Amino acid sequence: MTLEAQLSKYITKYIQDNHDIDVQSFEFQLTRKEFKGDLTLVVFPLLKHIKTNPVQLGEQIGDYLSKNSSLVSEFNVVKGFLNLSLTEFYFADLVNTMSQDENFGFRKVTPTSQKVMVEYSSPNTNKPLHLGHIRNNLLGFSVAEIQKAAGKHVYKTQIINDRGIHICKSMLAWQKYGDGETPESSGVKGDHLVGRYYVEFDKAYKSEIKNLLKEGKTEEEAKKQAPILLEAQNMLKLWEAGDPEVVKLWKTMNQWVYDGFETTYANLGVDFDKNYYESDTYLLGKDHIKSGLETGVFFTKDDGSVWIDLSDDGLDEKIVLRSDGTAVYMTQDIGTAIQRVTDYDIDEMIYTVGNEQDYHFKVLFLILKKLGFEWAEHLYHLSYGMVDLPSGKMKSREGKVVDADDLIEEMTSTAKSISQELGKLEGYDDDEKNKLYKMIGLGALKYYILKVDPKKRILFDPKESVDFQGNTGPFIQYTYARIQSILRKGKKDSKDLNLSTYEFNSKEKALIKILNQFPELVQQAADQYSPALIANYVYDLVKEFNSFYQNVSILGADEEYQIEFRVELARLVGEVIQKSFKVLGIEVPNQM
């Protein structure tokens, strides 16, 4: 039972006995640093039940708690705020509870746990992953890990956009200009190789448009009549008709890309339980559209296209089948959602997709509800802002992107140069150094992105992210390594502490209080789909630990029992840092 729940029982009894009113819910907050106390009861909300002076009511409740509860040692009232100082017994009990719970902060998954699917990444097979995909992957993976830590069954998935005109553009350009080039023959990673030909197509397309404009065509005509575009459109028709040569080339080039993606995912430290492919799902949903036509959910226009009218729901009309009977993205998203629930019998689905698709998901979820799927109430669009660079926006067609592989390499290189400047890794061999550079570089990248609320845009600055001071991944990793050094020097078996007579100082209490917030923070981050809550919590924890470290002697304490307790407190901090970084997908080093 939480501290708040324990105190609430006493406060409820006091109000029942003295005012004959049943009040069950109370507002608590941590006591502000400028006031004496550990936890504060906000008295004002009680005034709607009890007509009295807030200071007087606070004094009465505080007096009752200090006399009747073993948790409260003293109190003070500031206006309508009752500041409670907690007993040494409370802090001792907290430390022992945390020390003995190996899963502290995390809930166990049980057979009856909720089943959640998290979709992220969902790339196209015509280009490599870029900086925007990195935010998507890091966010989706972390949200999945946080849901798992909150005690849910989690399935990680992606839908790979492996068909369509954009794929045919890369294929056609390779046919025209590739001269049989392969990843093996060129030494170029498969997704990069295919991406090059996507850029080559765009160059040729623009050149042909320029020529057509010179011949007197309008810009619109030139864009539609460029020969290379007509060839790509014809290739798509051949693919849809199952032409053996086109399908063979499609499978070959897509495999190059899949192999490339796997390397990037491994380097980034993300994984998936199930891949869905658009080539398998683009026909899904059509049967449900037909059923919806029969029940009046959809309607047909004069040209034969099928639509839904959502104007009564504050949205617009939306097409779900073209006049020629072919599917649109909405059709396949309807089908894919239904297929996933069939495959996994999930209770909730989280889509990690940029905020430019906000409207699409409002429509998708509403259509699924209108089709009668009750689980559609439990679909969530994890909408996130774009990632900008000091140099501006990225453009895939022109090859002006920050490539994910290049960025991972650059982060490792930046970590290396900063570590060398600071002389942090003396005495390490080259292999150890290289592992640490990658750990620090990736930790910097992931933390910099995940500490920001998902809804906000990010201006990404690689050098700023690898600072060893301030709210950064390396700063937190360095603190963790420092704690491991303390543990190597201190007594290791400190779990059976006798704290019955221990007098905690203010720095120790501050650390214990912030550690105690961890289980609630994990649940909150799961409920709000926000890794930023965990990232900023662990930064606050590390700041509090560093203040403790600078002001309180750990290994040089006067008494042996103080050393044992403070080493154990450091161990608990290290454990919570490691668990926090685990759900953020970040590794922690034992030495730095």
pLDDT above 70 for 567: yes
Instruction: Judge residue 413's burial from the number of C-beta atoms within 10 Å of its C-beta, 0-12 exposed, 13-18 middle, 19 or more buried.
Output: middle
Residue 327's pLDDT band, with cuts at 50, 70 and 90, is confident
Residue 494: predicted pLDDT: 52
What tens digit of pLDDT does each residue of 474-492 get? 999 999 999 999 999 986 5
Do 14 and 64 contact (CB within 8 A), yes or no? yes
Task: Find the mean pLDDT for residues 273-282.
Answer: 92
Residue 417: predicted pLDDT: 85
Task: Find the mean pLDDT for residues 282-300.
Answer: 92
- Choice between 519 and 464, residue whose per-residue pLDDT is larger: 519
What tens digit of pLDDT does each residue of 56-104 get? 999 999 999 999 999 999 999 999 999 999 999 999 999 999 999 999 9
Least confident of 202-206, 313-317, 397-401: 397-401
Residue 495's pLDDT band, with cuts at 50, 70 and 90, is low
What tens digit of pLDDT does each residue of 549-558 get? 999 999 999 9
Query: Please, which residues have CB within 8 angstroms of residue 84's CB and are 6 or more apart in sequence?
Result: 7, 31, 37, 38, 39, 40, 41, 62, 65, 72, 75
Tokens 């049989």 locate to 180
Least confident of 219-223, 243-247, 474-478, 495-499: 495-499
Domains of the chain: 3-86 (3.30.1360.70), 164-273 (no CATH), 404-584 (1.10.730.10)
Tokens 């961890």 locate to 518
Q: For all residues of the chain together, what is the average pLDDT? A: 92
DSSP 403: B
Residue 276: predicted pLDDT: 95
Task: Find the mean pLDDT for residues 181-197.
Answer: 96
Query: In Å, what is the CA distance from 481 to each residue of 431, 473, 475, 523, 579?
Result: 18, 12, 10, 27, 14
Residue 400: predicted pLDDT: 56
> Alpha-carbon torsion 132, 135, 139, 140, what sign?
positive
- Choice between 534 and 281, residue whose per-residue pLDDT is larger: 534
Q: What is the CA radius of gyration of the chain?
A: 30
What tens digit of pLDDT does each residue of 502-538 get? 999 999 999 999 999 999 999 999 999 999 999 999 9
Least confident of 36-50, 233-247, 409-423, 491-505: 491-505
Residue 391: predicted pLDDT: 63
Residue 463's pLDDT band, with cuts at 50, 70 and 90, is confident
Of the chain, the percentage scoring pLDDT greater than 70 comes to 96
Do 279 and 168 contact (CB within 8 A), yes or no? no
Task: Find the mean pLDDT for residues 349-357.
Answer: 96
Residue 398's pLDDT band, with cuts at 50, 70 and 90, is very low
pLDDT above 90 for 33: no
Residue 496: predicted pLDDT: 67
What tens digit of pLDDT does each residue of 128-170 get? 998 889 999 999 999 999 999 999 999 999 999 999 999 999 9
Residue 124's pLDDT band, with cuts at 50, 70 and 90, is very high
pLDDT above 60 for 395: no
Per-residue H/E/C for 134-199: HHHHHHHHHHHHHHHHCCCEEEEEEEEECCCHHHHHHHHHHHHHCCCCCHHHHCCCHHHHHHHHHH
Of the chain, the percentage scoring pLDDT greater than 90 comes to 80
Task: Find the mean pLDDT for residues 345-354.
Answer: 96
d(CA 482, CA 471): 17
Beta bridge pairs of residue 382: 352
Do 148 and 585 contact (CB within 8 A), yes or no? no
What tens digit of pLDDT does each residue of 249-261 get? 999 999 999 999 9
Residue 435's pLDDT band, with cuts at 50, 70 and 90, is very high
d(CA 449, CA 516): 26
Task: Find the mean pLDDT for residues 190-196.
Answer: 96
